[in-house]
A and B are shown apart, each in its own frame.
Chain A
Amino acid sequence: MNLKLKVWRQDNAEDDGRFEYFEALDISPDMSFLEMLDVVNEGIISDGDEAIAFDSDCREGICGTCSMVINGVPHGGQKGTTACQLHMRHFNDGDTIVIEPWRATAFPVHRDLIVDRSSFDRIQRSGGFISVRTGSVPDANATPVAKENSDLAMDAAQCIGCGACVAACKNASAMLFVAAKVSHLSLMPQGQPERNRRALAMVNQMDEEGFGNCSVNGSCEAVCPKEISLDFIARMNREYGRALLKKGCS
């Protein structure tokens, strides 16, 4: 099939950016979306021009590196699918596809479709861990974990940190991301000692990074490639409330 691409180009964070148009010819339905872009880039490079810059690494939907808005939807709108796992059989000959980077104040553009998501790392650093030193830990089976809890923790822990939730949200809120991490650790017995501190620190850091507020409209859940549930946001609100109360008491 033959397609037209309307792609966001931006040289660096300071550049204003613009759309550029490309043709993607002779595209096989078996290609992944990123392989389609590879094909276009091969042509661009052969002509001596600079390739469209986009992020990807695992191309299996697990590393969370790929990040692009396709026809207005982060990752392109196939349920539970990252851009790297989206395949061209979902497009039709003659389509025009619009490709843009994640857009959020907290994710400045580095170049073209590549953004800076270090704000996510800083949120994790503020408290997304259990403070144990290597070696000073009990036997793994000394602390049983109810299967329901560990399964639910795993549902949350699956988050790949791609940032699609932020890109989909009209407020550019990072609530689903933060809720996933806070919930994962608060569901595990090992996470209890730092439970309150963690919730407060991560929410505060999220605010500091310039992410917007959550108005629970659910567009994050809809685009999440790991289908992380909105319920975790409710859980985190409870965690945060609880932590505030404890703090007030002490």
Chain B
Amino acid sequence: MAIKKKKTPTKAKTVKTNSRTSKVILDSKIPAGPIADKWDKHRFNLKLVNPANKRKYEVIVVGSGLAGASAAASLAELGYKVKCFCYQDSPRRAHSIAAQGGINAAKNYQNDGDSAYRLFYDTVKGGDYRSRESNVYRLAQVSVDIIDQCAAQGVPFAREYGGLLANRSFGGAQVSRTFYARGQTGQQLLLGAYSALNRQISLGNVEMHTRSEMLDVVMIDGHAKGIVVRNMISGEISRHAAHSVVLATGGYGNVFFLSTNAMGCNVTASYRAYKRGACFANPCFTQIHPTCIPVSGDHQSKLTLMSESLRNDGRVWVPKDKKTAEKIRKGELSPNDISDKDRDYFLERKYPSFGNLVPRDVASRNAKEVCDEGRSVVSSGLGVYLDFADSIKRMGENTVRERYGNLFDMYEKITGTNAYQNPMTIYPAVHYTMGGLWVDYNLMSNLPGLFAIGEANFSDHGANRLGASALMQGLADGYFVLPYTIGQYLAENGISDRPSIDDSAFSVVQDEVESRIETLLSIKGDRTPTSFHRELGQIMWDKCGMARNKEGLEEALLTIPKLRKEFWQNLSVPGKNTALNQSLEHAGRVADFLEFGELMCRDALQREESCGGHFREEHQTPEGEAKRNDDDFSYVSAWEHKGENKKPQLHKENLVYDEVKMTQRSYK
């Protein structure tokens, strides 16, 4: 139950809110034995909670996306008492809803040679050897159960005429293992998880809190035992205690201001946990998606993804010379005026065997490169063509319409351009964050009792995520991993290990949260939260985006603190705390991004290699490809907060590859 703040005089007790004095030890708890047996053996060895006692345990789940909703529903089915929180007005609107393409699973329904081992192998390789083998293998193993579960919930997956499930192929794999529901796979999977969650809410096993923003974690004796939450309608701050806290709060792509993420996506929950002692892993690993609709002006509030499948039939090009490009930008020439010999199909030219189908990071970097050379075809200087003219000639407009009709419609809605007649313009955009809270094999952070699942953790995708694998990971964590592994922690610590919300640790955190809100409201400067967010985003995109270098990152490490200083002196947040106040909500999130952006740059600076989505210009092959340095950098960088205005400390979890041989990726 949420109780309004009682003004208990906060006695000057020794505050037990953090474990900062205790030394951080990153124990990944990878079970021993052959990779294929690890999970089974581990499950057998995990402590069980007596069924009769389960309802005496309370678990807080923050987030109701694929990870959070599936976890909350599954935990409640097991008998635990669950409280679930989200910032939207309904759990059904979590950002997972926007995923389009599909979800991978090693079902081998196509009989094309797929297996758990192959999915595992593809994921480790696709992640450029910076993920943890044991976790990825488990992910591949449970992937098959996810499809069964979702089908049983009534998810209307695409079917063949015989009534069996259909598959499509996706980047980075040679088998057809992606399940989908038209272009709305995330929506349908989330509605499935939401229905399971609804059932548990109606049975009284889950207490759902919508329009509720978690603003901090409460630590007691070094364990995560609760959260402090703001009701976004009334502004009321409440305390919630539990035996354990699960963060399923999604990714932090909005640190770049412009991304394909929903407007409300934020880093607040993970970042607050970090400031209470949880290690943040690989924060600089972000994924840039090559096919998004370019920015149309300063008013731009977010970017829209166009499915990657378009690269199957679209050809990417820019003019060969700068002058022609300039004329196009000025509107003096149109793309159809340019003859084939004056076009540069740069992906086909540089990567003859993969052509337009090179992985996301390679396609993105090359688009940036030709634009940097002055050969962009949109007035902002940031856009290349994706041309369907040849496909239309080859297979007819109708076939193209059948395959991509909804995407062409969406493109026209946003840009006003008919892509059957003119090429599309596209540019890369921030899409996904591989980094996240450090977790062990049980998905528990280094803070006992604090778990992180879904995009909020770091473990499965290494330095680059394959398409259709985020939905798989969110549901694997929530349905099939966390419900088992959390039992170990709960059983070890016992029923009595649940504090009261009157504990002084809660008062201290609530006071901190309230005084922060009051500060944001009292600055009364000139600049809006959005203007700070936009400026931070620009710094991050320029210095810590698709390509990074030492000089730029060092510069960002100077400019971000300056911007942050200005934020706390010149921010304008009209209105009050005790009402719905969207400027205040945004300001709180931007405040955290302003600190977090610095951590990302620091991480990108220390990683003196290029891998996956992290491209350091100093570390490339003579042909301009990413050059890994396995001898020195095959580790997870896990950052520990050491206090305000102090440098965070880097901890390393060494990655060991017993199964997959590390090789340099080549798509030539």
**With A48-B574, A62-B187, A134-B479 known to touch, is A143 a contact of B151 (CB < 8 Å)?**
yes
Q: Could you say which residues of chain B place their CB within 8 Å of the CB of A36?
A: 299
Complex CA gap A57/B86 in Å reads 13
**With A63-B98, A134-B77, A146-B163 known to touch, is A117 a contact of B198 (CB < 8 Å)?**
no
Interface assignment of A76: CB less than 8 Å from any CB of chain B: no
Q: Could you say which residues of chain B place their CB within 8 Å of the CB of A140?
A: 107, 147-148, 150-152, 157, 165
Query: When the two chains form their complex, are residues B301 and A32 in contact, meaning their CB atoms are under 8 A apart?
Result: yes
Contact of A157 among B73, B160, B164, B188 (CB under 8 A): B188
Complex CA gap A85/B573 in Å reads 28
Interface assignment of B494: CB less than 8 Å from any CB of chain A: no
Query: When the two chains form their complex, are residues B262 and A116 in contact, meaning their CB atoms are under 8 A apart?
Result: no
Interface assignment of A16: CB less than 8 Å from any CB of chain B: no
Complex CA gap A128/B159 in Å reads 23
Interface assignment of B374: CB less than 8 Å from any CB of chain A: no
**With A39-B299, A57-B88 known to touch, is A144 a contact of B162 (CB < 8 Å)?**
yes
Q: How far is the CB of B437 from chain A (nearest CB, A)?
A: 23
**Binary per-residue interface labels of chain A (32-44) against chain B in the complex, 1 for a CB within 8 Å, 0 otherwise:** 1011101100101
Q: How far is the CB of A62 from chain B (nearest CB, A)?
A: 5
Max chain B Cβ within 10 angstroms of own Cβ: one of A31, A125, A134, A157: A134
Q: Could you say which residues of chain B place their CB within 8 Å of the CB of A185?
A: 154
Interface assignment of A150: CB less than 8 Å from any CB of chain B: yes
Complex CA gap A77/B416 in Å reads 17
Interface assignment of A249: CB less than 8 Å from any CB of chain B: no
Q: Could you say which residues of chain A place their CB within 8 Å of the CB of B157?
A: 140, 150
Interface assignment of A28: CB less than 8 Å from any CB of chain B: yes
Q: Could you say which residues of chain A place their CB within 8 Å of the CB of B109?
A: 141
Complex CA gap A157/B524 in Å reads 46
Query: When the two chains form their complex, are residues A124 and B149 in contact, meaning their CB atoms are under 8 A apart?
Result: no
Q: How far is the CB of A166 from chain B (nearest CB, A)?
A: 14
**Binary per-residue interface labels of chain B (113-155) against chain A in the complex, 1 for a CB within 8 Å, 0 otherwise:** 0000000000000000000000000000000010111111110
Q: Could you say which residues of chain B place their CB within 8 Å of the CB of A87?
A: 413-414, 416
Q: Could you say which residues of chain B place their CB within 8 Å of the CB of A160?
A: 187
CB closest chain-B residue, reference A187? B156
**With A125-B201, A134-B480 known to touch, is A147 a contact of B196 (CB < 8 Å)?**
no
Query: When the two chains form their complex, are residues A51 and B582 in contact, meaning their CB atoms are under 8 A apart?
Result: yes
Contact residues of A: prevailing secondary structure: loop
Query: When the two chains form their complex, are residues A188 and B163 in contact, meaning their CB atoms are under 8 A apart?
Result: no
The interface-forming segment of B24-32, B89-97, B540-548 is B89-97
**With A132-B152, A157-B191 known to touch, is A58 a contact of B90 (CB < 8 Å)?**
no
Contact of A129 among B147, B196, B302, B415 (CB under 8 A): B196
Q: How far is the CB of A57 from chain B (nearest CB, A)?
A: 4
Query: When the two chains form their complex, are residues A57 and B233 in contact, meaning their CB atoms are under 8 A apart?
Result: no
Complex CA gap A189/B82 in Å reads 30
Q: How far is the CB of A37 from chain B (nearest CB, A)?
A: 10
Query: When the two chains form their complex, are residues B301 and A121 in contact, meaning their CB atoms are under 8 A apart?
Result: no
Q: How far is the CB of B365 from chain A (nearest CB, A)?
A: 25
Interface assignment of B528: CB less than 8 Å from any CB of chain A: yes
Complex CA gap A78/B90 in Å reads 25
Query: When the two chains form their complex, are residues A30 and B152 in contact, meaning their CB atoms are under 8 A apart?
Result: no
**With A57-B262, A129-B198 known to touch, is A85 a contact of B153 (CB < 8 Å)?**
no
Complex CA gap A45/B159 in Å reads 50
Q: Could you say which residues of chain A place their CB within 8 Å of the CB of B296?
A: 28, 30-31
Complex CA gap A143/B157 in Å reads 12
Complex CA gap A250/B574 in Å reads 61
Complex CA gap A45/B532 in Å reads 13
Q: B residues 59-112 with Cβ under 8 Å of A?
A: 70, 73-74, 77, 88-93, 95, 97-98, 107, 109
Q: How far is the CB of A89 from chain B (nearest CB, A)?
A: 5
Max chain B Cβ within 10 angstroms of own Cβ: one of A45, A85, A118, A133: A45
Complex CA gap A231/B483 in Å reads 41
Query: When the two chains form their complex, are residues A49 and B574 in contact, meaning their CB atoms are under 8 A apart?
Result: yes
Query: When the two chains form their complex, are residues A137 and B233 in contact, meaning their CB atoms are under 8 A apart?
Result: no
CB closest chain-B residue, reference A117? B89
Query: When the two chains form their complex, are residues B145 and A135 in contact, meaning their CB atoms are under 8 A apart?
Result: yes
Q: Could you say which residues of chain B place their CB within 8 Å of the CB of A117?
A: 89-90
Complex CA gap A42/B202 in Å reads 41
Max chain A Cβ within 10 angstroms of own Cβ: one of B74, B148, B210: B148
Complex CA gap A8/B318 in Å reads 47
Interface assignment of B343: CB less than 8 Å from any CB of chain A: no
Interface assignment of A204: CB less than 8 Å from any CB of chain B: no
Contact of A51 among B161, B181, B574 (CB under 8 A): B574
Query: When the two chains form their complex, are residues B263 and A141 in contact, meaning their CB atoms are under 8 A apart?
Result: no
Interface assignment of A53: CB less than 8 Å from any CB of chain B: yes
Query: When the two chains form their complex, are residues A144 and B152 in contact, meaning their CB atoms are under 8 A apart?
Result: no
Complex CA gap A130/B187 in Å reads 17
Complex CA gap A191/B142 in Å reads 24
Query: When the two chains form their complex, are residues B147 and A57 in contact, meaning their CB atoms are under 8 A apart?
Result: no
Query: When the two chains form their complex, are residues A129 and B199 in contact, meaning their CB atoms are under 8 A apart?
Result: yes
Q: Give 20 A-B contacts (CB < 8 Å), ordered by A residue.
A: A38-B301, A44-B574, A46-B527, A46-B528, A48-B574, A56-B263, A57-B95, A57-B263, A61-B410, A63-B262, A111-B580, A125-B201, A134-B196, A145-B159, A146-B163, A153-B156, A161-B90, A161-B92, A184-B154, A191-B154
Residues of A within 8 A of B (CB): 11-12, 28-32, 34-36, 38-39, 42, 44-46, 48-51, 53, 55-65, 78, 81, 85, 87, 89, 110-111, 114, 116-118, 120-121, 124-126, 128-135, 137-141, 143-147, 150-151, 153-154, 157-158, 160-161, 184-185, 188, 190-191
By Cβ-Cβ distance, the 3 closest A-B pairs, closest first, are: A144-B163, A129-B195, A137-B152
